[in-house]
Structure 1
Amino acid sequence: MTGSMITEILLPLALAFIMFGMGLSLTRFDFLRLWQTPAPIVTGFFGQIIALPLLAFGICVAMDLSTPMAIGLMILAACPGGTTSNVVSHLAKANLALSVSLTAISSIVCVLSAPFVIQFALGYFANEAPIAVSLSSISLGLLVITLLPIVFGMLVRSYYREWAIKVEVYFRRFALVFLLLMITGVVIQEHAIIVDAFNEVFIACLLLNFGAMLIGIVSAKVLSLSHKDGLTLAIEIGLQNSTMAMLICISLLQMPSYAVVAGVYSLTMYLGAGLLIAYARYFPSSTSVSKMV
């Protein structure tokens, strides 16, 4: 893949296409909710941008992960949100408005925050063999393939609302198919690494997923938020944008081996999501957040 037209052109274009689809689902009211209900949004934002990378770093150090796995996990933690979390929130009957708002805000802010997390991970875990990549190049890459398409999608939504609502579902389907193709490609190319380190990566991904969901649940309990908000925070903090993480590893950093973690996580994250959906279906929304911990 490295250096080919696929990694340098087609994959970034595909992610930009997905981000444009996300923009079609967003309106300015998704951002205005920050002022209307600040507590859950600020809590979720803190969990996604600050607590999640710290959790990933703790897992890397505690498990003494190999360099590619550690950097891959940190990159994954630097990519919060994504359309998957919105779908899971809908299935779990969580606070969909809060979910969409958090996805929108985190997708924009991670353009600025992710490069710093990635640079830290490269400097800390790959200090013996540093990769020549600048903070500005990562930021510019994320700006072009994520932020600008989202903004463009929102503009299209504001002028062609009915069309945007109608076609947005097709972008979601494309995102799922593209993710499956990405996972397949990573598995084929990095088969040897996955076989050698599967147990290590699988456990690390589960710890990140379940640990992040626990952060959301505990945060909601501490702030006495509603059951729906607590469930939403667990989903939003617990589910990462593995597609973006794989694109960063493969296209921006030219290191497909780092994408192994995101590839494995793309499968393991549905375990946590499935448990949350099952919990929401079997227990009524009147259940207090305290009973989730």
Structure 2
Amino acid sequence: MLFLAIDLDQAVLNFSQDNILILKFCLGFIMYGVALNLQIKDFREILVNPRSVAIGLLSQVILLPASTVGLILLVNPHPSLALGMILVAACPGGPLSNFISHYSGGNAELSVSLTTVTTLLSTFTTPFNFAFWSQMIEVPGKTVTLDFLEMAIIILELTIIPTILGMFTRHRFPKFAEKISKVFRIVSLIIFVIFIVGALYKSIDIVSKGSYNKNDKYNE
């Protein structure tokens, strides 16, 4: 029986500067739309009762990578794919997670707080988690490095600035914010769907380049 496969170590997704700028704009747009429904008092409540933030940090920084490794040991994927799973689990959340929390009626303020804190901590937690958990996967020569300045700029561009602008709009122009928030909600959902479809398209395009037999475990 044949299964689709590729040399995962050779798979590369190339993004031009224009693509990156468009992606950043879309993520900032989504985050601004989420912030139109946020208020300072909501964040004050989180500071007064930080238990929810602590539980969220514990879940994302420790439990998520640990459960991912458990899944890897269960399904035994290709080593490079396993490392990718660990790296994704070790990374912080982003603007899309805030949008999903907001759109589904969750605690958007808590989501934004967790995104900010985990992104700031990720300079230390991501490489540590990756190095710690990837020891279970025998793939020599695999390393991960993070630039703290780059991480700070990313969180500033995609989370902090859009959040401040959205909350400022809500504070100074509440009626206007209420009107446009509905538009942002719909457009953000469309952008989110485009992201999903685009990711699936890229994956199918890469995977469709080769095939292998199930008994040939690592395409050798």
Q: What TM-score do you get using the length of structure 2 for normalisation? A: 0.68
Give the letter aligned to residue 142 of structure 1: I
**Within 1, Cα distance between the matches of 2:67 and 2:194?**
28
| Contact 2:53-2:114 within 8 A present in 1 as well | no
Structure 1 position 159, deviation (Å): 1.3
Pick aligned residue for 2:114 from 90, 99, 106: 106
CA 1:86 to 1:63, structure 2 compared with 1: closer, same or farther past 3 Å? same
Deviations 1:125-179 (A, max 9, x none): 7762446652432332232222221122112222112211221122222221112
Pairwise CA distance, 1:11: 0.6
Map 1:57-136 onto structure 2 (within 5 A).
Answer: 57-65=69-77, 66-68=79-81, 70-72=83-85, 74-75=87-88, 78-79=92-93, 81-88=97-104, 90=105, 99-120=107-128, 124=134, 128-130=141-143, 133-136=146-149
Residue 175 of structure 1 aligns with an amino acid whose one-letter code is: S
Q: Pick from 133, 148, 158: which aligns with 1:145?
A: 158
2:195 aligns with one of 159, 162, 182? 182
Structure 1 distance, partners of 2:148, 2:38, is 28
Q: Retained in 2: the 8 A contact 1:24–1:168?
A: yes
Q: CA deviation at 1:112?
A: 0.9
Match of 1:191 among 204, 211, 214: 204
Counterpart position of 1:169: 182
Contact 1:53 1:117 in 2 (8 A): no
Q: 1:42 to 1:119 in 2, by over 3 A?
A: closer
Query: Which aligned runs of 4 or more in structure 1 are off by greater than 6 angstroms?
Result: none
RMSD: 3.2
SS, match of residue 25 in structure 1: coil
Deviation of 1:15 (Å): 0.4
1:115 and 1:139 in contact (8 A); partners too: no
Distance in 1, Cα, partners of 2:144 & 2:54:
34
Counterpart check, 1:52 vs 2:64: yes
1:187 CA drift (Å): 2.0
Q: Structure 2 vs 1, CA of residues 39 and 188 (structure 1 numbering), >3 Å: closer, same or farther?
A: closer
Question: In the superposition, relative to structure 1, how do residues 110 and 162 fare at CA in structure 2: closer, same or farther (>3 Å)?
Answer: farther
2:180 partner letter: V
CA distance in 2: counterparts of 1:116 and 1:23, whole angstroms: 27
Distance apart, 1:37 and its partner CA: 4.4
Cα deviation for residue 194 of structure 1 reads: 5.2
**Which of 146-155 and 55-64 deviates more?**
55-64
> Using the alignment, how far apart are the partners of 2:81 and 2:183 within structure 1?
34
CA contact (8 A) 1:22 1:153 kept: yes
Identify the structure with the greater helix proportion. Answer: 1
Report what 1:227 is aligned to: none
The answer to whether the 8 Å contact 2:120/2:151 transfers is: no
> Kindly, what percent of the aligned residue pairs are identical?
21
Contact 1:111-1:147 at 8 Å conserved across structures: no
Larger Rg: 2
- Length, aligned pairs only: 189
Pair 130,50 (structure 1): closer, same or farther in 2 beyond 3 Å: closer
Amino acid at match of 1:26: L
Q: Mind listing any 5+ residue stretches in structure 2 that lack a counterpart?
A: 1-12, 212-220
User: Which residue, 160, 165, 169 being the options, matches 1:156?
Assistant: 169
Unpaired runs of 5+ residues, structure 1, are 91-95, 198-293
Change (3 A) 1:87 1:17: closer
Alpha carbons of 1:177 and 1:114: their partners in 2 closer, same or farther (altered >3 Å)? farther
Cα distance change on mapping 1:72 and 1:148 into 2, 3 Å: farther
* TM-score under structure 1 length normalisation: 0.53
